[in-house]
Structure 1
Amino acid sequence: MNLEKLPKIKTKKAKRIGRGAGSGKGKTAGRGTKGQKARGKVSITHPHFEGGQRPLFKRLPYRRGKGNSKISKKPLAVNLDVINLLPKGITVNIDSLIKYQIVDANDAKKFGVKILGDGNISSSYIFEVKTSKSAAKKIEKSGGKVVNQFSITKEPVDQNGENKKEAKSK
């Protein structure tokens, strides 16, 4: 029997950790040198632990609002004199303002767009975005139309889209 003709062993023996320098995992047993993690059981499970030092999130001040989130931004403001740059008779909505590079696409979709009444409008347009009262007056005066998609009703509405007060009275 030759040693080279023996079948190969598929599974290796597991290394015995901490059993002498010759084992390959002796002395510190793969734990590095010193520190709490090198000694005994480790009870640090959360990611904010900084070795007993005051954690960063405790050093920072509290911030206002629900979930310490940023204050939501207002919609992007576009004045009427900028609208004159658009082709005549176009429908002005978020997509058309993005197409003609008047507003940034990401910000417009995230925060919305509002038309303000600064300046004059020369031709008639159909507006499908939020408008200020002064802008709406100037638009209608020039022969345009404001289709407000964002009108908010204060009356409660049920699942069918009907007014709850009217549904109860029926």
Structure 2
Amino acid sequence: MRLNTLKPAPGARAERTRVGRGIGSGLGKTAGRGHKGSFARSGKGKIKAGFEGGQMPMHMRLPKVGFRSRIAKDTAEVMLYQLDKLEAGEIDFAALRAAKLVPSTAKKAKIVKKGELTKAFVLKGVLATAGAKAAVEAAGGKVVDGE
């Protein structure tokens, strides 16, 4: 084997189809592009996603609905009944994360009133809803520097 004798395996490289080379070739005149229209023109073969031929596209005909908060994905919700399973005492964000009540992607935690609270907790640096705050204080605990 020599460098000057190297060539690709048979069938590995297909010959380029020559278009627009006369009637006898089978791809003369319009060169397989048909007659007129955007696909017949040079550089115009692509249609943008969602384009419906000039008709008002579906995504513009339908009404805009809803709102998704970007802040919500950073804040994890912790229910009162989940909090009740922990040992009574001081609870902060690190304690909630250690107890696996808050996912690792969350940056903040908020206590939400759902379920009952029987133990006294001191919540530090954790957000709480008004109902949750009242429930914590009713159980003999308190919320410190949260909102």
TM-score normalised over the length of structure 1: 0.48
**Deviation of 1:116 (Å):** 2.2
Counterpart position of 1:122: 119
CA distance in 1, matches of 2:98, 2:28: 67
Counterpart position of 1:63: 64
Alignment RMSD, CA only? 4.4
Counterpart position of 2:100: 101
- Point out which structure has higher relative CO (alpha carbons under 8 A, 6+ apart): 2
- Counterpart of 1:115 in structure 2: which amino acid? V
CA distance in 1, matches of 2:118, 2:90: 13
Counterpart position of 1:79: 79
Contact preservation (8 Å) 2:108, 2:126? no
- Relative to total residues, which structure has the larger strand share, 1 or 2? 2
State the secondary structure of the residue aligned to 1:58. Answer: helix
**Deviation of 1:145 (Å):** 4.1
Candidates 125, 128, 131, aligned match of 2:128: 131
Cα 1:58/1:133, change in 2 over 3 Å = closer
TM-score normalised over the length of structure 2: 0.52
Instruction: Tell me the percent identity.
Output: 30
CA distance in 2, matches of 1:52, 1:117: 52
Provide structure 1 residue ranges, at least 5 long, that are not aligned to the other structure.
6-13, 152-170
